[in-house]
């Protein structure tokens, strides 16, 4: 019975005795991983964007809203695209400018955007973010 047990130890069901094949398989695997990493590095990454709806409020009912919108749209930054706008009545004849824009998150921040808009002190009293959505 002891001789039979020794014979069983000599049989390798998984073929792990073939060290040359293991090394060759490892080389093939490393080569494929290197090719995959190289291919993946060439792909452009996903650009995170956000859609922002801004409420731009004037000083009073005598503020030239067309000029205010022109000033806001004159702001140009890499990663900023202006969209549709409309005038929304607030009260007492005062209207606010509601304007849509799409920004690339890495290039344009909301703080910078608000700061740039409020530089037009003759027209803009304040800026609020009415809606902020990731795209």
CATH number of the domain that residue 120 is part of: 3.30.70.60
Angle formed at CA 49 by CA 134 and CA 44, multiple of 5 degrees: 130
- Specify whether the CB–CB gap between 88 and 98 falls below 8 A: yes
Higher pLDDT, 11 or 28: 28
Taking the model in full, what pTM does it have? 0.66
pLDDT for residue 27: 86
Convert the pLDDT of each residue in 88-131 to its tens digit: 999 888 999 999 999 998 899 899 999 999 999 999 999 999 99
Q: Count of domains in the chain? A: 1
Q: How far apart are CA 133 and CA 24, in angstroms?
A: 51
Residue numbers of the domain that contains 90: 49-134
Site of tokens 């890495």: 106
Q: In whole numbers, what is the pLDDT of the chain averaged over residues?
A: 85
Residue 79 lies in a domain: yes
pLDDT for residue 16: 55
């Amino acid at each position: 019975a002891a001789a039979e047990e020794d014979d069983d130890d000599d049989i390798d069901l998984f073929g792990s005795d073939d060290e040359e094949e293991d090394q060759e398989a490892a080389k093939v695997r490393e080569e494929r991983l290197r090719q995959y990493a190289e291919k993946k590095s060439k792909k452009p990454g996903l650009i995170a964007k956000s859609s922002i709806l801004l409420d731009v409020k004037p000083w009073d009912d005598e503020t030239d809203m067309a000029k205010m919108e022109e000033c806001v749209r004159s702001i140009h930054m890499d990663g900023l695209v202006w969209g549709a706008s409309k005038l929304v009545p607030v009260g007492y004849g005062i209207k606010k400018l509601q304007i849509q824009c799409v920004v690339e998150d890495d290039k344009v921040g909301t703080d910078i955007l608000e700061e740039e808009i409020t530089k037009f002190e003759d027209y803009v009293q304040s800026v609020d973010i009415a809606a902020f959505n990731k795209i």
